[in-house]
Amino acid sequence: MSLADASADPSAPSADSAPLPLSPAMWSARDGRITLRTLILIRWIAVLGQLTTVVVVQFGLGFDLPLGPVLAAIGASVLLNLVAMAQRGGRLRLADRDAALYLAYDMLQLSLLLYLTGGLSNPFAILILAPMTVAAAILSRYSVVLLTGLSLVCLTVLALWQFPLPWPETLPALAPLYAFGIWLSLSVSSVFIAAYVFRVADEARRYADALAATQVALSREQRLGALGALAAAAAHELGSPLGTIAVVAKELSRELPPDSPFVEDVALLQSQVMRCREILADLARKPEADGGDPFERMPLTAVIEEAAAPHHVGGIDLVIERPDPPAGDEPVVRRSPEVLHGLGNFIQNAYQFAERRVTVTVEWDSGSAMISIMDDGPGFPPTVLSRIGEPYISTRGDRGGHMGLGIFIAQTLLEKAGATVGYSNNRGGGARVVVRWKRTILEPKD
């Protein structure tokens, strides 16, 4: 067993879940993550802060700033915001490339202001990390790498060239070693913050996407269960008028003389009525054969058999082992979509990587019930064993690379049904998945 995408839902997302290569073609994978209005608001806050700082420093502290160039740089941001607001009032959702360009402008504009006001010796130099931090939270890996590189270039330029701060009295220049320390600390902070924020945000996005896929899978299972109940209801409703037709056809066959030209037609009508009754009887019986209503109670082993039935692979045996002797009465559980889909995903995953046999062991006592799903395949890779259950974990092996979305969906659905799930490898080879419930949760009293 490996981290296969055991979900039977072909619509489950997979292509966008793989790690993004450093290619401009992947820019579109993160499109629409932020609206233009959000960036406009952030820039208005930056403009207000910049103007306030200039006023306080120029007129409050008496520093002689180069007001013309400084106000021109701030005015460029004001002009850009006004132009951006004209685009659907700022409600436009930005493509990854466009958002990266807006944030690159913010970084360059702030670098220009710092260049005019002391460079890295300006106490506000740390704000150059702000656009890059925003980028790491919303943009693709390619854009984050480019903007992080741009921030390093800006920091290097500011460390080498800048207008000195116009102090009222002459101050000695910064020691070269101290200036290098400021540049190094900001550069390291830029790389660290970009990597850390991108990692956290990307993990949150992966979990959100995986949870959405889980909801789709659960919704599909619920629709399938409802379809069986609908078929039974339709069979019941159609039974009465079909019975009336059968009675009328029988009466007609009695009334018609043997040489009537309508005898064959009435006989055909009777045969088709019988055929319809057989079809409706099958529809009415099918929910019972499949376990009935999605919330009908069934023995635990019957639930396992139903969950495994759609995933059987020829040439691989499925063995369900029960306790011998049984430790009390077998749990009788609700046939819920969460349990069926979750167990089905784990069993399908075992089938995919088994060599000859899949074994499902069922154990129970007065307080708990446990299902162990084992195969005789290569087992879980030791390098990712501790991370199994997280979405979109890719592995490489003899069977190829796979995404762990199916296991994540199965675990999420079973945990929603009150189970705990554990993963390990058997000593003799093969993987083991253990699903455990407390009987008070598995068999709730109505």
The 10s digit of each residue's pLDDT in 222-247 is 665 565 556 666 666 677 787 788 88
| 290 has pLDDT over 60 | no
Whether 242 and 276 have beta carbons less than 8 Å apart is answered as yes
Instruction: In whole angstroms, give the CA distance from residue 56 to residue 41.
Output: 23
The 10s digit of each residue's pLDDT in 43-99 is 999 999 999 999 999 998 888 889 999 999 999 999 999 998 887 666 678 888 999
- Give me the pLDDT at residue 180, please: 92
Whether 388 and 10 have beta carbons less than 8 Å apart is answered as no
The 10s digit of each residue's pLDDT in 324-376 is 777 778 888 887 878 888 898 899 889 888 989 999 999 998 889 999 999 99
| 27 has pLDDT over 60 | no
143: left (phi over 0), alpha (psi -120 to 50) or beta: alpha
- Give me the pLDDT at residue 2, please: 42
Which CATH fold would you assign to the domain 297-442? Heat Shock Protein 90 (3.30.565)
Instruction: In whole angstroms, give the CA distance from residue 168 to residue 162.
Output: 18
Largest CA distance in the chain: 128
Instruction: In whole angstroms, give the CA distance from residue 65 to residue 163.
Output: 10
The dihedral sign for the CA sequence 213, 219, 221, 227:
negative
Instruction: In whole angstroms, give the CA distance from residue 180 to residue 424.
Output: 51
**Average pLDDT rounded to a whole number, residues 416-426:** 90
Instruction: In whole angstroms, give the CA distance from residue 163 to residue 347.
Output: 68
Q: What are the CA-CA distances from residue 307 to residues 331, 360, 400 (Å)?
A: 16, 12, 26
Tell me the domain boundaries of the chain.
Answer: 31-173, 221-289, 297-442
* DSSP 8-state class, residue 312: -
CA 366 to chain centroid: 37
* DSSP 8-state class, residue 23: -
- Give me the pLDDT at residue 8, please: 37
- Give me the pLDDT at residue 175, please: 79
Between 166 and 381, the more confident residue is 381
The 10s digit of each residue's pLDDT in 293-316 is 544 678 888 889 888 888 877 788
| 147 has pLDDT over 90 | yes
% residues pLDDT > 90 (the chain): 32
| 406 has pLDDT over 80 | no
Mean pLDDT for all residues in the chain: 80
Whether 359 and 328 have beta carbons less than 8 Å apart is answered as no
- Give me the pLDDT at residue 385, please: 82
- Give me the pLDDT at residue 244, please: 83
| 28 has pLDDT over 90 | no
